[in-house]
Amino acid sequence: MTQRLKVMHVITGLDVGGAEGMLYALATAPAARELDQSVVSLVPGGHYAAALRQAGVRVESLNIRGVFSLPGGLVALARMIGSEAPDIVQGWMYHADLLSLAALYLSGRRKRTRLAWGLRCSVLTGPEFAPALRIARRLWIALSGRPDAIIANSKAGIDLHAALGMHPRLALIINNGIDTTRFRPDPQARARLRRDWNVPGAARLIAHVARVDPLKDHATFLAAMERLPEARAILVGRGTEDLPRRANVTALGQRDDVPAVLAAADIAVSSSIGEGFSNVLAEGMAAGLPAAATDVGAARLILGDSGAICPPGDPNALAQALRTLLEEPPAQWQNRREAVRRRVLENFSLDRAAAAFITAYRALLENHP
C-alpha cells in the first residue's frame, strides 16, 4: 500500500475566493485520499475555515493581523512544520508563499520537506494592488528560485511572472478542478429558484458570480446588460447588493447555494479584466451552462469552442457575445448545454486536478531524496 503523503497547505486567508475554493476542493476530494492534509491560514476566520473543519480537515490560524504580529506568526508556523513534519508544504498566493519559505528554513526541515508555491494570479495592475502587495510581489519574484516548484493554475500566470523575472527550479500548470457532483444540472433546484425569482421556464437567465472587486469588472457587465434590455441576469457575490441598480439585473449578494443558483440559470458569464483559471466559468459549464467570457487567463482553454469569447473592458463586445448565446435556436442550444458539461467532465474534473497534485508531490519527493 502506498504511504500517504503529509501535506501542509499555507494560505493567506480562507474567505470566499478562487484559490480558497480550490484548496477546499483539494483538501476534501475523495480522489486525494492519498494525502494527509492540513491547512494553515495566515489570518483568522473565513467561510472555508468552518467548511474545512466540518469536513474533518485540520485547520489552524496564525492570527496575523498586521505587520507587528508577523514575527509571532512566522515562529508559530515554523513550530507547526517542525512538529507535524510534513512531506510537502504547499503555499497559496504571494504572502503565504513567502511566509512558508521563511518558516520552513526556520523549522530546520528544509532538506527533508519539499516546498511548492502556488501562483494564482495573471494580472498585476489595478487599484487592488496596494503598495504592500507590490512589495510582496517583488520579493516573491526575487525568491522564486528557492521553492522546489511553483504550481500555477494557468499558463497566463506563468508567462506574466516569467516576463517579470520569475526563475523557478520547476514550473507546473495544474488547472483547477471542479466537483461535478456538486456542480451539475439540478431540475428541482432550477424549478424552485426560477419560481422564486419569477423567471419564465423558457427564458434564458444569465448568471454572473463574483465578489465585487476591480478585477471582476462588474461595470462592464452592467453596461453590457444595458445593451440587452430584453435579457435578464442575476448577480451573485459579496458586495453585489450594493452595485448600481439595473431593471433587468437582480443582485442576490453572497449565497451559500451557488450550485443551485447555477442550475437555475442558463448562461454563465465572466467579465473579468484578469483571471488565472476562472472557477465560475468551469462550474457553470459543469452545471450545463454555456458561457461568455472575456479573453483573459485560461478562459479560451476552459471554453474551447463551446462558448463565446470577447476582449476585456468592452461592453459592446460582451453584449454581442451574450446575444450570440441568447439567440441560439433551441436544438443547437440543447446540444451546446450537453457539450459544455462534457468538456468539464473530460478536462477539468476535480479527480484530474487531485491526481495531478499527487503526481507532482510524489515527483518532488522522488527527485529530492
pLDDT at 128 over 60: no
- The whole-number pLDDT of residue 127 equals 47
Q: Across the chain, which distance is largest between two alpha carbons, in Å?
A: 63
Torsions phi, psi for 339 (to 5 deg)? -70, -35
pLDDT at 295 over 90: yes
- The whole-number pLDDT of residue 275 equals 84
For the segment(s) 187-347, the CATH number from 3.40.50.620, 3.40.50.2000, 3.10.310.10, 1.10.3720.10 is 3.40.50.2000
Higher-pLDDT residue of 206 and 47 is 206
> What are the contacts of 188-196 at 24+ separation with CB within 8 A?
189/257, 189/259, 189/260, 189/263, 189/264, 190/263, 190/264, 192/260, 192/264, 193/260, 193/261, 193/263, 193/264, 194/264
How many CB atoms are closer than 10 A to CB 346? 9
Amino acid at 27: A
- The whole-number pLDDT of residue 123 equals 64
- The whole-number pLDDT of residue 239 equals 94
Q: What is the dihedral of CA 173, 178, 179, 184, to 10 degrees?
A: -160
pLDDT at 126 over 60: no
pLDDT at 130 over 90: no
User: Residues 6 or more apart from 159 whose CB is under 8 A from it?
Assistant: none
Same fold, 5-177+350-367 and 187-347: yes
pLDDT tens string 161-205 = 999 999 999 999 999 999 999 999 999 999 999 999 999 888 999
- The whole-number pLDDT of residue 355 equals 95
- The whole-number pLDDT of residue 1 equals 45
Instruction: State mean pLDDT over 126-133.
Output: 62
pLDDT tens string 56-104 = 999 999 999 888 899 999 999 999 999 999 999 999 999 999 999 999 9
User: Residues 6 or more apart from 244 whose CB is under 8 A from it?
Assistant: 222
Q: What is the mean pLDDT of the chain?
A: 93
Asked if residue 53 lies in contact with residue 79, where contact means CB atoms within 8 angstroms, the answer is no
* Residue ranges of domains in the chain: 5-177+350-367, 187-347
C-alpha–C-alpha distance, residues 353 and 40, integer Å: 21
Asked if residue 247 lies in contact with residue 324, where contact means CB atoms within 8 angstroms, the answer is no
Asked if residue 132 lies in contact with residue 123, where contact means CB atoms within 8 angstroms, the answer is no
Instruction: State mean pLDDT over 134-143.
Output: 92
Nearest to 318 by CA among 334, 333, 307, 328: 307
Instruction: State mean pLDDT over 256-262.
Output: 95
Could you tell me which CATH number the domain at 5-177+350-367 has?
A: 3.40.50.2000
- The whole-number pLDDT of residue 199 equals 93
Q: Distances in Å between the alpha carbon of 83 and those of 52, 77, 108, 162?
A: 21, 10, 11, 35
Instruction: State mean pLDDT over 349-367.
Output: 94
pLDDT at 369 over 60: no
